[in-house]
């Protein structure tokens, strides 16, 4: 059971990251839901999504007290770091967030996701780096499920990008 918030700038792959977790959960036969913030959003503005993974029927799909939060930019860190429930997990993109969590009742993991993505040759896989950290820290979904989800979600002509995405996932798993 996990109530997850993923947040960042529009264009960072926040919604897709949420969908990858959701899709992977579905592949593992869990109950899953994904709900995006859909205000007057725009590229470069902030956006977030709620993902719920459960063993049984999901009640509210809107996450208010996350058991895990993945934040990709500083405004999202400020907004969601205080909301993570006690004993929860915070994964943040230290390439763009130059601060540390003061809380001692959550586990916080800093991941230089943009730097790692740049090393791999594509800034666009920063979200997959953070997903790697997430799956390793939570054991919620298996890496194989993520690969299956990528195959299902990406159209055939983009399947050549799957190895790069899986590489990013592996790099992220090392940060704990």
Partner 1 sequence: MAKTLMKGNEALSEAAIRAGLKAFYGYPITPQNEVPAYMAEHLPLRGGVYLQAESEVSAINMVYGAAGAGVRVMTSSSSPGISLKQEGISYIAAAQLPCVIVNVVRNGPGLGGIQPAQGDYFQAVKGGGHGDYHMIVLAPGNVQEMADLTTLGFDLADKWRNPVMILGDGILGQMMEPVEFAENQEPVNVEKPWATTGAVDREPNIVNSLDIIPEKAEKNMQALLAKYEKIKEEEVRWQEDGTEDADVILVGYGTSARVARSAMELARKEGLKVGLFRPITLWPFPEQRLRELAKPGRKFLAVEMSAGQMIEDVRLAVNGVSPVYLSNRLGGMVPTPEDVLTKTRDIVQGRVN
Minimum separation from the CB atom of position 94 to partner 1 (A): 29
- Binding residue for partner 1 (CB under 8 A) from 19, 46, 48, 76? 19
Number of amino acids touching partner 1 (CB under 8 A)? 19
Which of 42/176 has CB closer to partner 1? 42
Decide if residue 58 touches partner 1 (CB under 8 A): yes
| Residues of this chain, 21-50, that bind partner 1 according to CB under 8 A | 22-23, 26, 32-36, 38-40
| Residue 122 to residue 16: CA distance in whole angstroms | 16
Closer to partner 1 by Cβ: residue 72 or 149: 149
Neighbouring residues of 91: CB distance < 8 A, sequence distance ≥ 6: 68, 69, 70, 71, 108, 109, 111, 130, 133, 134, 137
Closer CB to partner 1, 100 or 142, in the complex: 142
* Nearest approach, Cβ of residue 17 and partner 1 (Å): 13
Contact call for residue 59 and partner 1 (CB under 8 A) = yes
Q: How far apart are CA 70 and CA 166, in angstroms?
A: 18
Pinpoint the alpha helices (H) of the chain: 14-27, 74-80, 113-120, 126-138, 143-153, 162-173
From CA 61, how far away is CA 82, in angstroms rounded?
20
Please choose, from the candidates 144, 148, 169, the residue with its C-alpha nearest in 3D space to the C-alpha of residue 159. 148
* CB-nearer residue toward partner 1: 39 or 87: 39
Residue found by looking up tokens 């926040």 in the block: 14
Residue ranges in contact with partner 1 by CB under 8 A: 19, 22-23, 26, 32-36, 38-40, 57-62, 64
């Amino acid at each position: 059971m996990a109530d997850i918030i993923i947040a960042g700038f529009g264009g960072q792959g926040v919604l897709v990251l949420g969908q990858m977790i959701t899709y992977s959960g579905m592949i593992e036969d869990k109950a899953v839901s994904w709900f995006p913030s859909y205000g007057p959003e725009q590229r470069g503005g902030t956006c977030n999504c709620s993902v719920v993974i459960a063993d049984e029927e999901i009640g509210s799909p809107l996450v208010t007290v996350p058991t895990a939060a993945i934040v990709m930019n500083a405004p999202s860190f400020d907004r969601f770091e205080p909301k993570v429930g006690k004993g929860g997990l915070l994964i943040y993109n230290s390439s763009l967030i130059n601060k540390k969590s003061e809380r001692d009742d959550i586990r916080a993991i800093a991941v230089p996701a943009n730097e790692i993505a740049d090393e791999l040759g594509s800034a666009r896989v920063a979200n997959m780096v953070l997903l790697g950290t997430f799956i390793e820290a939570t054991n919620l979904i298996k890496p194989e499920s993520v690969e299956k989800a990528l195959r299902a979600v990406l159209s055939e002509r983009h399947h050549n990008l799957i190895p790069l995405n899986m590489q990013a996932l592996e790099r992220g798993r090392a940060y704990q």
